[in-house]
Amino acid sequence: MIAPDYFDPSLQVQGREGIKQLMTIIFKAVPDIHQVIEDIIAEGDKVWVRLKITGTHKGELSISLPSIGRMTLPPTGKKITYTTVQMWHIVDGKVTESWGVYDMLDSYKQLGLIEHTEKAKKLFPKDVS
C-alpha cells in the first residue's frame, strides 16, 4: 500500500521503513489506537480523508509543543481523541505522498498538557472536564 519512495513532509517520514518506525512508536504509545474514516473524497490520483482517531495513552509519547518544544510524556492511561485530514497521492495503487493536518489541541487537553484559562472555563463550561 506504501510506495518505496513514499514521503510525508508534514511528519518528515520517508519510505516504507520510515512509516514502519513511526507506526511502531505510535502502537507502543497507544496500543489500542482506532481510526474511523469520517469522510473520503477521491479525484484523479488524490484521495482526501478525514479521520477520527481514538485510543488510550499507555506508553511513552514524544510530542512537540510550540511553547515547550519536544518532550517525552510518560504513560497517563488517559483516553485521547483527535481528528486529522490527510491527502494522499496515489500512483499505481500505492501511496507515494501524504500531507496531513492534525487537530491535537483536544488530545493535549485530554492528556493534561494544556488547560483552559479561567476565562475559557467561564465561557465554555461544557468543554471543561
With a cut of 60, say whether residue 2 has pLDDT above it.
yes
Question: Sorting pLDDT into bands at 50, 70 and 90, what band is 66?
Answer: low
Question: Sorting pLDDT into bands at 50, 70 and 90, what band is 73?
Answer: confident
Q: 19 vs 71, which has greater pLDDT? A: 19
User: What is the pLDDT, as a whole number, of residue 16?
Assistant: 95
User: What is the pLDDT, as a whole number, of residue 55?
Assistant: 95
3-state SS of 58-102 is CCCEEEEECCCEEEEECCCCCEEEEEEEEEEEEECCEEEEEEEEE
Give the 3-state secondary structure of residue 55.
strand
Percent of the chain at pLDDT exceeding 90: 62
Written out in words, the top-level CATH class of the domain with range 2-127 is alpha beta
Q: Whole-angstrom Cα distance, residue 23 to residue 35? A: 13
Q: Where are the domains of the chain?
A: 2-127
